[in-house]
Amino acid sequence: MADEVLFEKHNNIAYVTINRPDKRNAASLAVQEGLGDAWQEINRDPEIWTAILAGAGDESFCAGGDLNENLARARGEMVADQAHGPVGERPHPRGYAGIQDVFKPVIAAVNGYAAGGGFGLALSCDIRLCSENARFGCSEVRWSHMAGGQAYILPRTVPLGWAYWLTLSGQFINAQTAYQIGIVQGVFSDRHRLLEEATKLAETINANGQIVVQQTKQFISSSLDMPLSMARKMERVYYQRVRQSPDYDEGTASFVERRAPQFTGRPTGANPKG
């Protein structure tokens, strides 16, 4: 995995860190490839149950795409990348798009700026926490770039007026506003406390049966745009998978017997939705 993306695993939690603090953690090609590798490893490893995505340093979570690289590609200066075609015709970088295929919970720990594609990366995570100095914005519109991922996810996350405001104005909002409109689910004093709380949340999720956690995430993400009648049919399929897990009976028994559950069902490391 590229040095621009750090990957650690502790107690069934993967810690993924964008490591370009001197460049505000801008998503270079190396960062995008490193993130893509991280998402694949998280899916593959059955001993990883949740993941936390953060940015190195105190200034930025991720400042979006590396515009110096974008300009070099547009001018044809990055010869090694010519096989990918013109900028507008390349496939979406797997560092961005690949996170959508992670079937385990991913928590964004946003410290500093989440700008442009960096904002989209945070929005692609399942849960977002931030520090008090966090700032969120679709700044790319100011440079005549479209807010790609954000334009899709924001209307499904915040009131429509805020989705338009963010994507069309290019202005930033602070942590408290992000909390008030539902972009983040918690605000903490500094980066250290933020990572502590993100870890606590991951541990809380990990204390639950992992089969039901993964199946619930898959159902929510798959049913967002479905008609209610279709979603109900799909819910029965997912619920049946959960009922077939030994954790289902153990959870029921532990509730009746008033004791802590001892879950044994473990994910296989393969996407459970297939």
pTM: 0.88
Identify the pLDDT of residue 269: 46
pLDDT digits (tens, 9 = 90+) for 102-153: 999 999 999 999 999 999 999 999 999 999 999 999 999 998 888 878 999 9
The helix (run of H) or strand (run of E) holding residue 52 is: strand 50-55
Q: What percent of the chain has pLDDT over 90?
A: 77
Do 183 and 191 contact (CB within 8 A), yes or no? no
- The contacts found for 258-264 with CB under 8 angstroms, 24 or more apart, are 261/209, 263/208, 263/209, 263/210
For helices 228-243 and 210-223, what crossing angle results, to 10°?
170
Name the amino acid, one letter, at 193: R
Bridging pattern class, strands 172-174 and 135-137: antiparallel
pLDDT digits (tens, 9 = 90+) for 157-202: 999 999 999 999 999 999 999 999 999 999 999 999 999 999 999 9
In angstroms and rounded to an integer, the radius of gyration of the C-alpha atoms of the chain is: 19
Identify the pLDDT of residue 241: 92
Closest CA to 62 of 136, 137, 118, 143: 118
